[in-house]
Structure 1
């Protein structure tokens, strides 16, 4: 993994965006004052790749970016090359929110193709799988973080082995072991299944003799029940033939019953027809007996009809003359309606004028009141300009104080940050003048910063109190201005009221004057004319002439109505005369039909009596036969029950025979399953061997054993340079148990140091010697990781240790780094010492500015 570009914004001490390009150098040092942000640069790399830094969660967000007004995220973007591909990781964190993480790979079209998974954890796992190492391996081998030079050496032996296995890429053997375990468990499940099946086969074969005996018993029982069923069937068939004959007799008897009912129905119909004809005969004879009376009434009706015809002609003449009255009558009524409508309209107007006269004083009073209200509102509105000017002045004063407070807030925050930074510094240079800073001088500066902050805070609080006073005055003016707005609205209302009432007063006075001039005279004229009925004189004269002619005709409408009623009453004699003639012509054939019906009724009654006697005799015989016959349904149930038993036994026999026959197949399947079981047992044994081989005490342990000499060699090459050949490192993989009775040895990974013909454990060294051992050991691990097949990590970062060495020791460290520089694509060293800066081909300078840490790359 080779870093290409690092972009930081809002992360720890970095507020403004910082863009660091790694392509311009192979080896560089990072320099800067204490607290400038050197280690934060490395935190950005571990945070963006693994989500790990010295501080996590919201603590990684720059304190200024966290403020509610700004609320910017911590964001780090890193581009790196790995195994001939370029990747990008982007991690972002807002205060109080979940971290977002995106992973990309450079596509052929120079764009970025996303590799981001559905969740944060899944994406982090994707990054770890791509790099083939986790955070712990990264900081143990490639990153020498501040205060963690002994990260690897201080681990327990088991953890050293685990980290070494990760550096060597031995995780794949754990995957092999898991796969072998997975396959073994699958085979063991298959084995358990096969053994279960074999147990079922054995249990089934143990039942062979019982199954044969059960088959024989069922066959004998089936033969017995089948014989009983056949005998029952013969009896049932005989009884069915008898039942069929009885059913035929019953059907014939039913037909006779239907025929008797039909004949009775025909006889009833004939009797009804006979009675109906006899009633008609009686009616006809009665009509013939009243012949004289009917003919006399008919003659009187004809005379009345003649008289009515004469009156109808006289009525037509009368109505022709009477229709002439309509024209003059309509003209008279039309004239009356016109005069009455005009009179009604003038009467309404007269009432309206009377109402107007009564309202004039009140209307004049309302006009005067509205005029006075308008004048009063106009006087109040003259204060608006004064209030608006006062409010503008107050707003300007508030804006000035608010702007001053904003400046004071920034200055107070900067003073607080400066004071906090000084409080956290111990025994370092002044961040302003770069000179050594004594404790008393530091406290003096802190006190000065505190006093300046207190002074600015006092001004800030005074401005806040000033805001309260301005707000109160502004609110008072605003309330007064709002009341003037209500006055303005009232002015518009009063002006409209004044205009409306003035217009209404002028209109009312004009209406009264017009009425006095015209309307009063006209209404009196109309009242007199309607009362005397002196209008439409021509129409009234024409109507009198028509009435005189009608009187001469002498037409009596009442006599005409009586004649019409008498004619209508006599019309029934016309119908009676017609019925008389019809009765006389129909009586003879009707009497012949009655005689025929009487003879037919007599014949039908005799035939019906004969059929009823025959039906009674046949019905009695059928009932006797039915009573003597057995219960056919019971016979059917008996046969059905026997047949069901036979069928059930037949099914049981078939099932029992199948249970016997299937045992041959079971024996064959048992043999096949036994062979399958033996094969699975062989596979399980092989997989157990593979599990042990792939486990930590198998192949990985051998590979670690094989790698230790190479690590020792790399470490001793560096340690030899750092100690002038006085120190040498070895690994001990076994040691004796504390229990002296145990003859075996304990697996371990201890670090032993030979110095001055004496071998001591690593834990007995301290100070500069311990650092040289740690440095040599960590550098050896980094070289191993840089050469690891399939997961090369060609970057070395050192943020540790030069201050613990004297001048000669520091020079040897530089030589050791130069010794291995060709094995790494990038080497970055953080130093606080000016004398070491020139030892590197490039320098990354970190400075603390007002807008956060800034980065600048400088060539040596």
Structure 2
């Protein structure tokens, strides 16, 4: 720890001095660049323009994280473009080294002594490195170097307990309170856990009773299981004795059932073979009848083959005759078409010559139409031009008449005093002469106007010779249209003549081919003979079908004879087998009554065994449940023992935290009592220096109230200025105390709105006190909205809001600023500029 500052001496520890602060899109500051000098610097401006934002920017640059009000989302300038960069750059001096920290929303860099490469390049590493170099946390740094708004007189309005808590919080003793709260929270948690465990622990007597009951249940279950096992063994022996007799009875019963089934199957098969014998006899009789009927039918079928060949020839001739008739119809139709086409060709054979003549007539008529069209357009143009010219002249005369009439009316109204329309001089004696001239002009214009009016009326309708030319043009247009339509029809006839020639030639070739096809078809078809052969052949087909059926029946006779012999042998075999099965069934000695008795005895023994096995299973289950209940009782006993051990451990931990809580209270009390003399000593040193030893002693009483002593005697009443002085030296003593404990030299002091509601005299007193500390503080920064204090400052910065951009602007101001204007213009390093946002 550095040595305590006394008098005007400054330690050689790590001095802190701010050189430059640059803000880009930070809060209200779109682009501000501030360079700080030593001495007393004032930052002046109305409330809400961004003065305290400068202190916030310093804290954010050094410590980052959540030091900015509202978090990262509200840091960017509200009127900045989307994705606009946010950056704060701070240059400061610490322990003989110059640091430059650049911090954005997601990045941070720290440079040492003007180096180009950073010594830390992440938000976390920069904050941790600066905290180690400065040797203070954020709260310690601000409580040391920064005094917030109205903090000078804050203790005066607090109670004794609140003043003690305020000093503890400023000096860092608040961490003891936090630790004590953690200990108290742990103590409450332990109490709750102990209470919860005790409420969940079972009653010891109830647990012992439960264990004894479980032991008795296990003994009873074991006894019942032994009895059930004895009964099951007895019934099992009885069932085993009946087993051979029951097995033999079942064997004989099964054999009897098999014999009954075989007898039924054999009788069914024997019945089937007897039915087959009867069927075969019937079928063989039918074969004899078919053989007798086949002879007369075969005699009638002798001419069947020859008649079939003749019918095939007649059918072929019928098909050829049908084709002949179809071709004859086509030949007749094609002849008629050829005759019609030849007639049509003769009708339009003169179309080519007629096309040439119509074309010549059409060209002549078109030339006549073009000539008539030209003459008509020429005459119509002359008529329209004459009418437009007459109308133009008439309109001009109307305007001239109106103008002359107006001049005459004005001249008559003014009389001889009127002015000449040409030279604008009074007429006097020339009045009558000028009036006569105007009358003559008006009369001449009226005559001309009447002529052109009459001329327009004449030209209103189309002249006769132009109408005649228009009629000729229409007639010629009609003639040309008629000739064009006639030419189109003639040209169509020419094309049709060419097509007809080709079609006639093609049809003539097809007609000749058709005649050749008709000539090539054979003749000799007799329809009557065809119908007779068809009728006879159909009759013989039916007889042939009957003969085939009878032949098939006769041909089956050998197979039926063989099947009859086989059925006779099978019937004899099945009859012998049936007799054998009946003899074996009669030989079996077991009756149905004997089998029923044995089955009843065996079923009764099996039922008793099943009941004995069920009783054994029930007894086994009861034993398992009793053993499980006993095990649960034993587990509950072990859990109770472990819970009791855990409660004992927790009780010891609770007692330890009770003692720790009392120790923290005692430690805070001791520190608070030790703090008062130390603060009094430091404040007395500042008070002696600032009052030129008028007051040399200041102390805090047991209620942490400020008491100023004069020659060792407390002053019960002090003036307003003395109160401001006492508050200031107490705040300086607190900052000095924090700085010493952090190993820092107390060289920087920042006061934010410390004037509160002080009047002008007290404000000047505070300024004088601050100036008296310049040999101790190398750099004092004062932030205020009061403009009257600027004359007492070494350097003044004015903060205002640009209404056009909405951004805060920092400028020089005050006497000290005007004195530095020349240095600023010459490029002095202590320049403060306020740049507008980039457009």
Q: Which bracket does the TM-score occupy, shorter chain normalised?
A: 0.5 to 0.7
Contact 1:44 1:76 (C-alpha < 8 Å) held by counterparts: no
Deviates more, 1:724-733 or 1:768-777: 724-733
Shift of 1:774: 1.7
In the superposition, relative to structure 1, how do residues 584 and 642 fare at CA in structure 2: closer, same or farther (>3 Å)?
closer
Structure 2 CA distance, aligned partners of 1:316 and 1:272?
55
Shift of 1:633: 5.2
Contact 2:135 2:743 (C-alpha < 8 Å) held by counterparts: no
Deviates more, 1:212-221 or 1:71-80: 71-80
Structure 2 CA distance, aligned partners of 1:59 and 1:767?
41
In the superposition, relative to structure 1, how do residues 621 and 534 fare at CA in structure 2: closer, same or farther (>3 Å)?
same
In the superposition, relative to structure 1, how do residues 144 and 629 fare at CA in structure 2: closer, same or farther (>3 Å)?
closer
1:631 pairs, out of 604, 618, 624, with 604
CA root-mean-square deviation: 5.7
Deviations 1:232-259 (A, max 9, x none): 4334444555544443333223322332
- 1:725 is paired with a residue of what secondary structure? coil
Deviations 1:47-105 (A, max 9, x none): 8859999999999999xx88xx9999998846476999876666xxxxxxxxxx76846
**Structure with the greater alpha carbon radius of gyration:** 2
Structure 2 CA distance, aligned partners of 1:681 and 1:816?
60
1:853 pairs, out of 809, 812, 824, with 809
Deviations 1:621-658 (A, max 9, x none): 43454356553553233212321233235435645776
Structure 2 CA distance, aligned partners of 1:728 and 1:629?
125
Q: What residue number does 2:295 align with?
A: 295
Structure 1 CA distance, aligned partners of 2:571 and 2:75?
129
Give matches, 1:144-293, under 5 Å: 144=147, 149-185=152-188, 187-188=190-191, 191=194, 204-205=207-208, 213-288=216-291, 290=292, 293=293
Structure 2 CA distance, aligned partners of 1:58 and 1:311?
113
Shift of 1:301: 1.0
- 1:753 is paired with a residue of what secondary structure? strand
Q: What residue number does 1:113 align with?
A: 122
Structure 1 CA distance, aligned partners of 2:599 and 2:23?
113
Deviations 1:540-569 (A, max 9, x none): 75467557x614889943234234324422
Q: What residue number does 2:706 align with?
A: 751
Structure 2 CA distance, aligned partners of 1:807 and 1:596?
150
Deviations 1:168-196 (A, max 9, x none): 22233234324433554565566557756
Contact 2:698 2:707 (C-alpha < 8 Å) held by counterparts: yes
In the superposition, relative to structure 1, how do residues 792 and 236 fare at CA in structure 2: closer, same or farther (>3 Å)?
farther
Contact 2:724 2:766 (C-alpha < 8 Å) held by counterparts: no
Structure 2 CA distance, aligned partners of 1:769 and 1:326?
148
Structure 2 CA distance, aligned partners of 1:680 and 1:621?
83
Q: What residue number does 2:488 align with?
A: 514
Shift of 1:592: 4.7
Structure 2 CA distance, aligned partners of 1:778 and 1:610?
136
Asked if 1:713 is matched to 2:727, the reply is no
Q: What residue number does 2:655 align with?
A: 685
In the superposition, relative to structure 1, how do residues 228 and 336 fare at CA in structure 2: closer, same or farther (>3 Å)?
farther
Q: What residue number does 2:773 align with?
A: 817
Structure 2 CA distance, aligned partners of 1:324 and 1:728?
158
Unaligned runs of at least 5 residues, structure 1: 91-100, 117-125, 345-505, 735-747
- 2:157 is paired with a residue of what secondary structure? coil
Give matches, 1:405-420, under 5 Å: none
Asked if 1:789 is matched to 2:742, the reply is yes
Contact 1:11 1:60 (C-alpha < 8 Å) held by counterparts: yes
Structure 1 CA distance, aligned partners of 2:481 and 2:155?
111
Structure 2 CA distance, aligned partners of 1:541 and 1:209?
133
Contact 1:294 1:576 (C-alpha < 8 Å) held by counterparts: no
Structure 2 CA distance, aligned partners of 1:558 and 1:591?
50
Contact 2:187 2:658 (C-alpha < 8 Å) held by counterparts: yes
Q: What residue number does 2:614 align with?
A: 641
Contact 2:700 2:706 (C-alpha < 8 Å) held by counterparts: yes
Shift of 1:779: 1.8
2:724 pairs, out of 771, 795, 809, with 771
Contact 2:680 2:699 (C-alpha < 8 Å) held by counterparts: yes
Structure 2 CA distance, aligned partners of 1:246 and 1:508?
129
In the superposition, relative to structure 1, how do residues 629 and 690 fare at CA in structure 2: closer, same or farther (>3 Å)?
closer
Structure 1 CA distance, aligned partners of 2:660 and 2:341?
125
Deviations 1:439-481 (A, max 9, x none): xxxxxxxxxxxxxxxxxxxxxxxxxxxxxxxxxxxxxxxxxxx
Contact 1:88 1:105 (C-alpha < 8 Å) held by counterparts: yes
Structure 1 CA distance, aligned partners of 2:171 and 2:655?
29
Contact 1:77 1:89 (C-alpha < 8 Å) held by counterparts: yes
In the superposition, relative to structure 1, how do residues 45 and 723 fare at CA in structure 2: closer, same or farther (>3 Å)?
same
In the superposition, relative to structure 1, how do residues 196 and 240 fare at CA in structure 2: closer, same or farther (>3 Å)?
farther
- 2:154 is paired with a residue of what secondary structure? coil
Contact 1:308 1:563 (C-alpha < 8 Å) held by counterparts: no
TM-score (norm 2): 0.60
Q: What residue number does 2:530 align with?
A: 557
Contact 1:43 1:53 (C-alpha < 8 Å) held by counterparts: no
Structure 2 CA distance, aligned partners of 1:149 and 1:242?
119
Shift of 1:261: 3.0
Structure 1 CA distance, aligned partners of 2:58 and 2:482?
91
Contact 2:235 2:605 (C-alpha < 8 Å) held by counterparts: no
Structure 2 CA distance, aligned partners of 1:201 and 1:792?
68
In the superposition, relative to structure 1, how do residues 683 and 304 fare at CA in structure 2: closer, same or farther (>3 Å)?
closer
In the superposition, relative to structure 1, how do residues 854 and 670 fare at CA in structure 2: closer, same or farther (>3 Å)?
closer
Give matches, 1:92-111, under 5 Å: 104=108, 106=110, 109=118
Contact 2:146 2:749 (C-alpha < 8 Å) held by counterparts: yes
Structure 1 CA distance, aligned partners of 2:543 and 2:595?
71
Shift of 1:587: 7.0
Shift of 1:334: 7.2
Asked if 1:30 is matched to 2:42, the reply is yes
Q: What residue number does 2:32 align with?
A: 18
Deviates more, 1:786-795 or 1:226-235: 786-795
